[in-house]
């Protein structure tokens, strides 16, 4: 079976809301300016604020990229550099790397698919009707994050027909796993065979980034998945084989009788031959016996070979379909996955902070609280874009309250402050730019000891 997902952004299950904002930062800024709530002067200042805030965030996220180089290096199966550090605490590096993966995935508005949910997906069938088996015991760690749980149209080719169906897909899937060490894969012949047939390195950490993955076909993303025929497919092969065997057996009954006669003659003597209507001469002759043996073996062997060839052909076709689907849906591998997620986290936080600041600065008369601002932004997104989201108000509020520095009068302020009454207050656009400009100028503070 072959399938392709139709590239439609429409979400057919809007009740399943997510924090992800499915628009480019520049498009979101343009929509804010187009809303007409800011004066011409304010619009110019808001664009400048967006520029410097984006630059500040980019600088802040630079440290995450550097952390990937440090912590992922010992576990990177694609590493092409020579390690110089000695006596590295691998457990500590691994823990720091996992923390980094989790935090950036969550800041990029991905949600975790836990082990119980993964195993539930293993038991279900969506498009690829195969018998699959994944042994999670092969891994020390398995982390899965996804984004965009929705329904999309899929074109399915099955048998000789093509039709469109609705399938539950995950728009983006992050998968990280660490294989167990060499000793584990030497513990049994089955594991030794798997190790020999695969190209993975024990103890290494692999990461993959996919798009448009059917939710209940997650097991196909795992490198140790074993694929075979399900009961239905086995019956399709077994029934013709049994039917063909019966026909062949009916044709070779004379040879079978001679074989039976040889066996009975050797065990019970001539008396058994008369009971089945054979003579001593028939079973004593060497050539008829050999012909009988060869006839039966060739007949039954031919059927077995034909059915095995059909099975192999079908299995190869299924594996080819799976490989093609994964190839065209793979977005990144290993280290590049971390950098893609970091970039996405930076983009998401920028969009969230700009939306919060825009709605506060454009609604000076409203006494907005955390809850009312959250609802206001969600309503604005639905009315302006037709997108139903679950806006994450806590993240951008936390970030904006931490951005502190002197305003134009020299007083230390935060871009957003939460009063004792819960009302959110923001500084002017000019003061906000002044604070960010100060933070940018003092990103590095080297003492002059000359």
Higher-pLDDT residue of 97, 86: 97
Report, as an integer, the average pLDDT of 252-267: 59
Write down the pLDDT at residue 287.
47
Which of 360-374, 413-427, 434-448 is predicted least confidently? 434-448
Evaluate if residue 56 carries a pLDDT over 80. Answer: yes
Q: What is the pLDDT of residue 121?
A: 80
pLDDT-derived band at 190 (thresholds 50, 70, 90) equals: confident
Residue 10: per-residue pLDDT? 46
Model pTM above 0.75:
yes
Q: Round the average pLDDT of the chain to a whole number and report it.
A: 82
Q: Which residue has the higher pLDDT, 249 or 167?
A: 167
Return the higher-pLDDT residue of 229 and 80: 80
Confidence of residue 226 (pLDDT cuts 50, 70, 90): confident
pLDDT for position 165: 79
Length of the chain: 450
Q: What's residue 9's pLDDT?
A: 45
Q: Which helix (H) or strand (E) holds 81?
A: none
Between 53-57, 328-332, 370-374, the lowest mean confidence (pLDDT) is in 328-332
Query: 38-46, long-range: CB within 8 Å, 24+ apart, which pairs?
Result: 38/361, 38/362, 42/361, 42/429, 45/429, 45/430, 45/433, 46/358, 46/361, 46/429
- Among 134, 146, 141, 117, residue whose Cα is nearest residue 216: 117
Instruction: Note the pLDDT tens digit of each residue in 68-79.
Output: 999 999 999 998
Q: Which of 233-237, 343-347, 355-359 has the lowest mean pLDDT?
A: 233-237
Question: How would residue 51 be classed by pLDDT, with cut points 50, 70 and 90?
Answer: very high
286, pLDDT greater than 50: no
Q: What is the mean pLDDT of residues 200-215?
A: 92
Alpha helices in 160-285 (DSSP H): 182-185, 189-197, 231-251, 253-268, 271-275, 280-284
Q: What is the pLDDT of residues 235-257, one digit of tens each?
A: 555 555 555 555 555 555 565 65
**The predicted structure's pLDDT at residue 225:** 80
Round the CA-based radius of gyration of the chain to a whole number and report it. Answer: 34
SS3 423: strand
Percent of the chain with pLDDT over 90: 50
Here the contacts of 136-142 (C-beta below 8 Å, separation 24 or greater) are: 137/180, 138/179, 138/180, 138/184, 138/191, 138/194, 138/224, 139/177, 139/178, 139/179, 139/180, 140/178, 140/179, 140/180, 141/98, 141/176, 141/177, 141/178, 141/205, 142/115, 142/118, 142/175, 142/176, 142/177
pLDDT-derived band of residue 217, with 50, 70 and 90 as boundaries?
confident
């Amino acid at each position: 079976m072959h399938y392709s997902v139709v590239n439609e952004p429409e979400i057919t299950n809007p009740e399943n809301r997510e924090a992800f904002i499915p628009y480019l930062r520049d498009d979101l800024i343009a929509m804010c300016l187009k809303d007409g709530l800011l004066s011409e002067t304010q619009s110019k200042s808001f664009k400048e604020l967006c520029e410097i805030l984006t630059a500040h965030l980019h600088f802040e996220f630079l440290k995450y990229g550097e952390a990937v180089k440090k912590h992922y290096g010992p576990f990177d199966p694609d590493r092409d550099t020579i390690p110089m550090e000695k006596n590295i605490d691998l457990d500590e590096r691994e823990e720091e790397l996992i923390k980094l993966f989790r935090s950036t995935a969550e800041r990029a508005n991905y949600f975790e698919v836990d082990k119980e949910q993964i195993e539930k997906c293993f038991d279900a069938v969506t498009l690829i009707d195969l018998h699959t088996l994944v042994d999670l015991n092969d891994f020390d760690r398995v982390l899965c994050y996804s984004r965009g749980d929705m329904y999309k149209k899929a074109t399915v080719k099955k048998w000789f027909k093509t039709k469109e169906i609705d399938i539950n897909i995950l728009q983006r899937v992050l998968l990280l796993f660490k294989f167990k060490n060499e000793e584990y894969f030497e513990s049994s012949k089955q594991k030794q065979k798997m190790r020999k047939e695969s190209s993975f390195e024990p103890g290494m950490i692999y990461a993959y980034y996919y798009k448009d993955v059917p939710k209940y076909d997650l097991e196909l993303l795992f490198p140790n998945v074993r694929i075979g025929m399900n009961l239905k497919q086995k019956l399709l092969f077994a029934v013709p084989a049994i039917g063909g065997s019966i026909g062949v057996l009916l044709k070779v009954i004379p040879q079978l009788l001679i074989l039976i006669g040889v066996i009975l003659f050797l065990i019970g003597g001539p008396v058994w031959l008369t009971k089945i209507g054979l003579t001593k001469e028939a079973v004593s002759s060497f050539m008829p016996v050999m012909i009988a043996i060869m006839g039966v073996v060739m007949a039954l062997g031919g059927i077995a070979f034909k059915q095995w060839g059909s099975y192999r052909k079908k299995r190869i076709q299924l594996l080819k379909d799976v490989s093609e689907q994964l190839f065209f849906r793979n977005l990144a591998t290993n280290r590049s996955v971390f950098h893609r997620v970091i970039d996405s986290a930076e983009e998401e936080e920028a969009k969230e902070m700009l939306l919060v600041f825009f709605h506060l600065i454009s609604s000076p008369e409203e006494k907005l609280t955390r809850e009312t601002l959250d609802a206001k932004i969600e309503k604005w997104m639905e009315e302006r874009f037709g997108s139903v989201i679950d806006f994450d108000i806590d993240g951008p509020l936390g970030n904006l309250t931490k951005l502190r520095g002197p305003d134009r009068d020299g007083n230390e302020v935060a871009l957003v402050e939460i009063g004792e009454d819960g009302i959110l207050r923001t500084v002017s656009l000019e003061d906000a730019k002044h604070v960010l400009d100060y933070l940018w100028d003092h990103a590095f503070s080297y003492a002059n000891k000359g």
